[in-house]
Amino acid sequence: MADAELLVEIHRGPFAESQHWGHAVVVDRGGEIIAAWGDPQKVILPRSSSKMLQALPLIESGAADAFGLTQAQLALACASHNGAAVHTDMVALWLDHLGLSEADLRCGPQMPDDRAAREALIKCDCPPDQGHNNCSGKHCGFLTLNAHIGGGSEYHEVDHPVQKAVLEAFEDATDETTAGYGIDGCSAPNFASTLAGLGRAMARFASADPDGPPRAAAMARLHRAMASHPVLVAGEGRACTDLMTAMGGRVAVKTGAEAVFIAIVPEKQIGIAVKIEDGGTRASEAVIAQLLVGAGVLDPQSAVAQRLTHGPITNRRNMVTGFVQPSAGLRNWQLS
């Protein structure tokens, strides 16, 4: 088992003030690792970076088509959104279409990260509801599948048919038997995999034939939905949204809590998975951006690439005080 590798440094003046150690892997369509940093076999909880895996049964079961879900709704099913009106309005309409309400969600309330939505709640002295939860789109997907199969109300429980279907899809896509699960922030089980397994799953998404077998077709629909609706997947100013926008819908990316990040790169037919040991999101964002540059799909001079891989870091008087620097191994890597 390899140790974590130094992947990102934060510099202030002449000093390397902070260091982020972690793991990253690039996997090809055949499931082979073509580049790795740290330990590809490290077992992780992928958190929200696995939402497209959790959404596979929604399509494969026929539920998405039976309820007439749009591409935008499929993107929202894979989202960790900001709770802006563009997200919560869609959630409300989706629930209404199912004949359900906010009370049927099991993700819990969350104060929105979107500033306008947050300030609106503060001004009216209103509490957030479950629709504001960053995972409410995923839970709408669960509820849609549940309505289709006639399951009980507690769709988030690990022994519920919805989550059993998720586990089957997860293990098949990663080509691994999960080591177990943890309960995510939204109360759904989050199944563990190796980093290589997560990268393998993303490579399968990247190489999925839209006219192929049901699972491949579902994979193709989901990554296209994400890449086509970057604002729904995250929100204004977020790394996921900005990266997908900069790449013009060619690549789907998704963050997860505790500094996990994945990329699905169809034109190169590769999957990328990243995990930072200390849970620092700034580091996972820097690593995924640098690897996308190395893969030849992200312009290194784009505003988002510069911001995530260089900074600059400024103080409260807008003075430049430091910069971000991915490791030399990351900066020198290029997909052959």
User: What does the pLDDT look like over 224-253, one tens digit per residue?
Assistant: 999 999 999 999 999 999 999 999 999 999
CB 264 within 8 A of CB 256: no
Number of domains observed in the structure of the chain: 1
Global pTM reads 0.97
CB 8 within 8 A of CB 283: yes
- Which CATH number does the domain housing residue 176 bear? 3.40.710
Predicted confidence at residue 107, as pLDDT, reads: 98
Pick from 111, 45, 116, 107: which is nearest to 76 by CA?
107
Q: What is the distance between the alpha carbons of residues 290 and 298, in angstroms, rounded to a whole number?
A: 9
CA dihedral 105, 110, 115, 117 (to 10 degrees): 40
Task: Render pLDDT for 104-143 as a digit per residue (tens, 0 to 9).
Answer: 999 999 999 999 999 999 999 999 999 999 999 999 999 9
Q: Which residues contact 128 (CB under 8 A, 6 or more apart)?
A: 83, 109, 110, 111, 112, 121
Task: Render pLDDT for 1-48 as a digit per residue (tens, 0 to 9).
Answer: 689 999 999 999 999 999 999 999 999 999 999 999 999 999 999 999
Domain extent for 182: 5-332
Report the DSSP beta bridge partners of residue 189: 183
Predicted confidence at residue 1, as pLDDT, reads: 64
| Residue 219 binned pLDDT confidence (cut-offs 50, 70, 90) | very high
